[in-house]
Amino acid sequence: MALPYILTFATVALIALGQILFKMTAQRLVGRPIQDALSDTAVLFPFAIALAIYGFATLLWIFALRELR
């Protein structure tokens, strides 16, 4: 019975973490040419992790909505 609520809370926490990683990426892009940023793992790594977290959180959200009746 509590599972959908736990999943919803987990989804919100993951989305917040993804937003923090997107902000970190944006701060590392300031004043840099895009060509340099695309080859820098300090920029790409948090961006890739943020995308993965968002994808997982989306699937978790769908599952939570299916379980909530």
The pLDDT tens digits of the residues spanning 2-56 come to: 888 899 999 999 999 999 999 999 998 888 888 888 888 888 999 999 999 999 9
| Sequence-separated (6 or more) residues with CB below 8 Å from residue 49 | 21
Tokens of 1: 């019975």
